[in-house]
Structure 1
């Protein structure tokens, strides 16, 4: 092409102007072809896996220490999964250049920043057959979420179901009835049936320890007034009485199978239960009881809008393990979603005696009004811990 243009420009006389114009047109065509070639090259080098094929991932068998160095950030580690690269690319509207109801010409799917640190596991998670049955890997998904890879990318595969699923019980019956084993997929749990979750013979062998009595649906709680000198438990009647008729919707952020939410439903209060599957089918049981499970990690921002909840309750979740900086982020996020004069119910928070003042100071800094407040010794183990419970009212702010 260059030689041709050189010959055209070397022609003299009256033909020079015409040939010069022609050569410029040829040059314009050449540049356009070059751009087209670059576009096609980029397209094929980044093309996603075919609809009915499994995307290829190079498995990483290196030691964890080596992987941590390799997977430090998005710039240091390129994801191998073609399906993942395809998912995170912008998704234009069907009519190119036209904005949708969000005012955007394309949707930009998101994944969590922490995904960069667990790239090999995320590549494995995104390796599957499109339009097929998803891999049996909810435990891998939870591992990614806990590691900060949240939100996870969506996948184009069909979820697995219990093979002998039976109809759920009606709402009122399901609240306090042990779910059928057939309605839970047990293969990734240590327990392979519900009896294992509640039997005294399996204590220490169930695969979970937080909320050890959660799966015993005969145990309720929050009903009988207790000795205030030795117990930090408030009753539901006591708390709801602080705002008679005003508590309608709330969130229970606890390791739970939904017992608190079930008891609140009996009081005509709708409560979502936020928990992970901590070695047992917590979320499945919540749903089978006819309640709303919210599958979310402690590191995640609540998927709720500002000033919307009447109540947030938390038990056996925040305790002496939590660092002060994380605690601040959690509390301020809870503050965000609580409505003005909404209630924050901290239920039996516990820590070492010498650390209690540090935590109480963090709760005091919220500036909430103290409606109920109690600190008592925790006597079930060593005599070096305290329980703290409180019901706090969020102030109005301009």
Structure 2
């Protein structure tokens, strides 16, 4: 009995202190959430404004239809403003809740407020097994060496080992499909390799500018990988992949404005003083036709593309344009506030963002906002989305990011879009000056 009492005397103070510390932390965090929520509501004035906006008004009789229409339009405007305001509050509350959950998880892992390192599944950090060969040399043994490639690469160790399986100093294997698989999985940046890429046999010099902008490059300008379904550009052009520079459709892109979804380059450039749109980015730009159209008007546009099923990078370069090999999950490799224009075509849907994935979409839009200079343009071109998500997801999201609308057009997508209720959205947006 005496030993039992002695044990209780030894354990109780420590357990009591831990219980008190955890309870105090939890209470503090809950108070933080409540205070933060109240601050948001009070600072925004949303609670009072919403209540004020919907106070019963004095019943009146309209003497004509014009007065009735004016009142209805005012009511519609008020409702729309309230919906956007509430959507913004919802997002801010969601951020506060996520922060609270993170802090609670930190408190649960380490009662003293210090984060404890989780034990790795193996003795080598986030890798399933010991690294060997070229992969080990490229990554390095030190923990800071793992920054040489993306953290998601740990989920693709088998594929990454195949990617790094080559003879040092020799020729790199033909593995465009493997490279694309890794990048789409978030394994980016890829590690450097000590091998030489294959050179195309019979390589010929490209055509000089400006002729090269609209000249089909010779088939010998690229190595045709087994990943590509064709072995020449004529075959690729016939598959409708935007590589047919002889066709009327490609040469007609962005040359006319139909007043609806199709914007012209000249219309977009007219939104800014002449000469102030100088450099930009085309996300998912395929064969580089948008960049070529802008190049004709003295604007330098980098085309972000991947070799998904076709040698898009080599094709863009053969036209005298700049291809940027970057995947959809990577932060845009530009300094803050540097670009005059960012164009995102319909490839944005299939290759860069997933409709309905609001989190990924919002991260991407904020990254676009980051790289644009104040007053810069964001041209959203034929973005495909489920019709119900325009007002429920994307319109409030673009408003929340901070873009100003210069032009906005939405319409149902033809060719099968009716059954799926798919719509197009084209918009010319602007990052505010302040």
- TM beyond 0.5: yes
Counterpart of 1:225 in structure 2 is 257
Counterpart of 1:359 in structure 2 is 394
When the two chains are superposed, the root-mean-square deviation of aligned CA atoms in Å is 2.1
- Quick check: which one's helix share is greater? 2
- Alpha-carbon distance between aligned partners in 2 of 1:85 and 1:140, rounded to the nearest angstrom: 19
- Alpha-carbon distance between aligned partners in 2 of 1:123 and 1:79, rounded to the nearest angstrom: 11
The number of residue pairs the alignment matches comes to: 299
SS at match of 1:348: strand
Q: Per the alignment, do residues 264 and 255 of structure 1 end up closer, same or farther by CA in structure 2, a change over 3 Å counting? A: closer
SS at match of 2:210: helix
Displacement after TM superposition at 1:373 (Å): 1.0
- Is residue 193 of structure 1 aligned with residue 232 of structure 2? yes
Deviations 1:324-375 (A, max 9, x none): 1000111111111110110110001121211222222211212221111111
Displacement after TM superposition at 1:293 (Å): 0.2
SS at match of 1:364: helix
Conservation of the 8 A alpha-carbon contact between 2:168 and 2:194: yes
Q: Residues 336-355 of structure 1: matches in 2 within 5 Å?
A: 336-355=370-389
- Alpha-carbon distance between aligned partners in 2 of 1:78 and 1:351, rounded to the nearest angstrom: 41
Q: Residues 299-314 of structure 1: matches in 2 within 5 Å?
A: 299-314=329-344
SS at match of 1:175: helix
Counterpart of 2:294 in structure 1 is 264
Conservation of the 8 A alpha-carbon contact between 2:354 and 2:361: no
Counterpart of 1:43 in structure 2 is none
Deviating more after overlay: 357-366 vs 279-288: 357-366
Conservation of the 8 A alpha-carbon contact between 2:417 and 2:423: no
SS at match of 2:381: strand
Displacement after TM superposition at 1:387 (Å): 1.3
Conservation of the 8 A alpha-carbon contact between 2:255 and 2:266: yes
State TM-score, norm by structure 1.
0.71
Counterpart of 1:127 in structure 2 is 165
Conservation of the 8 A alpha-carbon contact between 1:255 and 1:316: no
- Is residue 241 of structure 1 aligned with residue 270 of structure 2? yes
Conservation of the 8 A alpha-carbon contact between 1:90 and 1:109: no
Give unmatched runs, 5+ long, in structure 2. Answer: 1-120
- Alpha-carbon distance between aligned partners in 1 of 2:266 and 2:386, rounded to the nearest angstrom: 30
Deviations 1:215-239 (A, max 9, x none): 111313111121x3xx401111101
193, 204, 216: which one pairs with 2:244?
A: 216
- Alpha-carbon distance between aligned partners in 2 of 1:303 and 1:348, rounded to the nearest angstrom: 24
Deviations 1:295-329 (A, max 9, x none): 11110111111110000000013338331100011
- Is residue 370 of structure 1 aligned with residue 370 of structure 2? no
Conservation of the 8 A alpha-carbon contact between 1:114 and 1:147: yes
Counterpart of 2:76 in structure 1 is none
Counterpart of 2:42 in structure 1 is none
Give unmatched runs, 5+ long, in structure 1. Answer: 1-69, 92-105, 204-211
Q: Per the alignment, do residues 76 and 263 of structure 1 end up closer, same or farther by CA in structure 2, a change over 3 Å counting? A: closer
SS at match of 1:327: helix
Displacement after TM superposition at 1:380 (Å): 2.6
Counterpart of 1:321 in structure 2 is 354
Displacement after TM superposition at 1:148 (Å): 1.1
Deviations 1:201-225 (A, max 9, x none): xx4xxxxxxxx35111131311112
- Is residue 177 of structure 1 aligned with residue 209 of structure 2? no
Displacement after TM superposition at 1:255 (Å): 4.2
Q: Per the alignment, do residues 367 and 193 of structure 1 end up closer, same or farther by CA in structure 2, a change over 3 Å counting? A: same
- Alpha-carbon distance between aligned partners in 2 of 1:178 and 1:255, rounded to the nearest angstrom: 17
Conservation of the 8 A alpha-carbon contact between 1:133 and 1:159: yes
- Computing the radius of gyration from Cα coordinates, the structure with the larger value is 1
Conservation of the 8 A alpha-carbon contact between 1:79 and 1:119: no
State TM-score, norm by structure 2.
0.65
